[in-house]
Structure 1
Amino acid sequence: MRILLVLAHPLENSFAASVARTAKESLEAKGHTVDLLDLYRDGFDPRLTVAERGSYFDERYDSSEVSVWVDRLKAADGLMLVFPQWWFNFPAILKGFFDRVFAPGVAFDHDRAGGRIMPRLGNIKLFWALTSTGSPWWVVHLYMGNPVRRLLKRGIAAFCGKGLDFRMIALHDMDRVTEAKRKRHLERVRALVSRI
């Protein structure tokens, strides 16, 4: 399987970078091909351009400025996202990746008759998110309703693909966890990713 592993964190020595490294090693140990896309180090600009927004409902979306990333998404069999949750949401650079790359003619098509969107990412069979939150589990799930999971599963994954293996693995209360708990989480990631 060819996995596009997308890392969204500005710090090279972040816990998210450790999670991405662990996932990459585990996937490669199982014989998978990993295309690591580090959004910050690869210089991804999250800002939607005038041409992109202007062509959003046209017959042909202008993806010329993001064609390198579009090609990498189209070449993948699976997508694995690694990111922290800030303010119960995606980092801005990851949101921009969705806005610019998960676009008409790439991730979905507009249904001209009814306004619905039709999934187009038939190549993606696996859609996983490896994430962390600064808040405790109960705040994320009970108080906030786990908004990132809902957006990923019901929004992006469901609208862009069909029959995906969706999974979200989160470390909660990140701001207060011990080093031992971080290590246990990395081992959990290693074990779960090794089953792919």
Structure 2
Amino acid sequence: MSDRRHFLIVLAHPLETSFAASVAAAARETLEANGHSVDLLDLYREDFDPRLSPAERAGYFDSPYDLSGVAEIVTRLRAADGLVLVFPQWWFNFPAILKGFFDRILAPGVAFTHDQAGGRIIPELTNIKTLWALTSTGSPWWLVHFYMGNPVRRLLKRGIANFCSKSLNFRMLTLHDMDRATPARLEAHIVRVRRALSAI
């Protein structure tokens, strides 16, 4: 077993009985069984407001940026060594509540700072060494990759991972063709998730 770490699992699905919830539970159980500690942030159950407020947007370039509206979640993110995102892909994109998590929590002074010379942003999410996405999509593999260009993976890897941290372990595990998945295939994906996380 590798060194013990603290993971923040962020679940973004409105239904408590969803497959995403099952994946999040399996991820939590697997990480804890391997000696890691886990904080589960269920965005719907914790009634997270994804809307960037007028004050937050108006002060986006202030230094320091006012994090008072999301301070509790920011504290939980800063305490983590790893971030595991669990969500379905809808319209080849993130659920709105997860996009709001990015907008409000991956804020200036948390995930990055503005380069005063202009243009660039400087990564600040240095505590996060692992960023995994456990996701599903109703579309088949070929449509996501060849027709759409796998937009969710691109945004996570090239955008959030590269702009907010350095040299982190990024991985994305996706169940494709979710709408036609049999119970056996759903269970096989849970096994795949457990096996992958056991190697962390």
| TMscore range, shorter length | over 0.9
Please provide the CA RMSD for this pair: 0.5
1:1-196 to structure 2, matched below 5 A, reads: 1-196=5-200
Q: Distance in 2 between matches of 1:62 and 1:139?
A: 41
Q: Deviations 1:33-59 (Å, cap 9, x if unpaired)? A: 000000000110000011110110112
Which 5+ residue runs of structure 2 have no aligned equivalent? none
Q: If the length of structure 2 is used for normalisation, what is the TM-score?
A: 0.97
Report deviation, 1:115: 1.9
Provide runs of 4+ in structure 1 moved above 4 Å: none
Q: Percent identity?
A: 71
Return 51-60 or 8-17, whichever deviates more: 51-60
Which 5+ residue runs of structure 1 have no aligned equivalent? none
2:138 partner amino acid: G
Q: Distance in 1 between matches of 2:189 and 2:132?
A: 16
Report deviation, 1:114: 2.7
What SS does the aligned partner of 1:169 have? strand
Q: Distance in 1 between matches of 2:154 and 2:141?
A: 15
Q: If the length of structure 1 is used for normalisation, what is the TM-score?
A: 0.99
